[in-house]
Amino acid sequence: MAAAGTRVLSRWAWLVGVLGVFAPMGEARADEPPVASLVYAVGSGLSCPDEASFRARVTTRLGRDPFVPQAATAVRVQFEARGARVVARVEVAEGSNVPGVRSLEQPKGACDSLADAVAAAVATAIDPMGPRPVSPAPPPTPPPAAAPPPKEPPAAPSVAAPASPPAPAPAPARSGPPLRLALTAHGLGSVGVVPGPALGALVGVGLRYGAFALHLEGRLESTPSSAAVTARDRLTGVAYGGGLVPCGEIGWFEGCVGLRLGALQVTSLDVVRPTLTSAFAAAVLARAVVRVPVGERVHLRGGLEGGLPLVRTTFSIEGEPVWTADPLYAALVLGIELRP
C-alpha cells in the first residue's frame, strides 16, 4: 500500500512540475485556440498506445484536435524502456526558447496509464484554459410571408361525356381436343389367311385425337382343326403378326386401313414325319367397325375386315403344291374398347 501511494504522489508531483515548466506557453493566448506540432515515438518492445491513440486522448481533453503539421509550439513525446520500467520523456518548445523537458517512470505494464498522464499534461501545456464554449449560431431569418394566391374564377360546369359501351369480352381461346389413350381387344374368325377357317384374337393400343386414332395392333389366327387340302393331305396353320393401323370415326362408325406383317406356319399331318413350314406374310387391310357406347369410357365394337395379301405363299408336300394362299381374305371382329 505504501508503494502504491508513493507512485500516485510521484505522478501528481510530476504533473505539477510539468505545469510549472509548460505554463508560460499558455500565457500569450490569442483569439484563435492554441495549436502545436507533435512528434511521437514508442521504443521497441513496448505496448504503449500509438500516435493516433495518443492524439485522441489529447483531443478528448481539449474538445478539439490541437495538432497541426507546422506550429510555433512543438511537442515531442517519447516512450522508452529502461530495465523493468518505461520512461516517458516530454519536451515542449515554443519558437527559439529553450524547451522544457520532464520525464516520468512507471512499470512496463502501466504504459497505458502513463500515456493518460502524459496526454493530460500535454493538453494543459498547449491550452491551459481548456475547451472553449462555442457561441450558438443566430437563428435563421424567417422567410417573408408569401402573398396569398389569386382567387381562381369559378370553374365552368363540366358536361359528362357519354359513356362508351363496354368492350366485348375476348373470345375464349379454342383448345384442341385432348389426346386420349385407347385400348382394344377383339375375338375374330377369318377365312383365307391359313388353310381352312381360323379363329383368333386381335389386341391393340392407340392414341385418339378428336375423330382420328392410330393403333398398334398384334394378332394371332389358328385353325381349330386340320383342313383337308387334297384327298389325302391335311394341313393345320397359324398366322401371327401385327401392324400400325390409322383410323377415323364418324358418329358410331369407324373405318381403318393399314398394313399387317408377320409369319405363316403350316404343318402337314398325313406324312411319315409331320413337318412345320414357315413363310413371311404381309397384307394390306381395310376394316369397317360399328361402335356402341355402353358408358363414358367403354364401347362395344363389331365389324368386318378384308385384306389383300402382298405375298401369296404356296406349300408343297414331296414337291407337289398342296395349298396356296387365297388372293383375298375376310374376317369378322367382335370386341371392346376402353378409353381411360
DSSP string, 73-136: EEEEEEEEEETTEEEEEEEEEETTSPPEEEEEEEEGGGHHHHHHHHHHHHHHHH-TT-PPPPPP
> Are 230 and 327 within one domain?
yes
User: What one-character DSSP code corresponds to residue 16?
Assistant: H
**Cα separation, 66 vs 26, whole angstroms:** 13
pLDDT at 12 over 50: no
Q: Which of 11, 58, 23, 20 is nearest to 129 (CA)?
A: 23
What whole-number distance in Å separates Cα of residue 210 and Cα of residue 177? 5
Number of domains in the chain: 2
| 151 assigned to some structural domain | no
CA distances from 107 to 3, 5, 104 (A): 12, 15, 10
Examine residue 169 and state whether it is found in any structural domain, yes or no. Answer: no
pLDDT of residue 173: 66
Q: How far is CA 65 from CA 91, 126, 221, in A?
A: 19, 11, 111
The helix (run of H) or strand (run of E) holding residue 238 is strand 234-250
pLDDT of residue 302: 97
Give the rounded percent of residues in the chain with a pLDDT score beyond 90. 40
Residue 154: inside a domain: no
Across 232-257, average pLDDT: 93
Radius of gyration for the chain, computed over Cα atoms and rounded to the nearest angstrom = 60
**In terms of domains, do 206 and 104 share one?**
no
What's the domain range around 75?
Answer: 7-24+34-126
Look over the chain and give the mean of its residue pLDDT values, rounded to a whole number.
Answer: 83
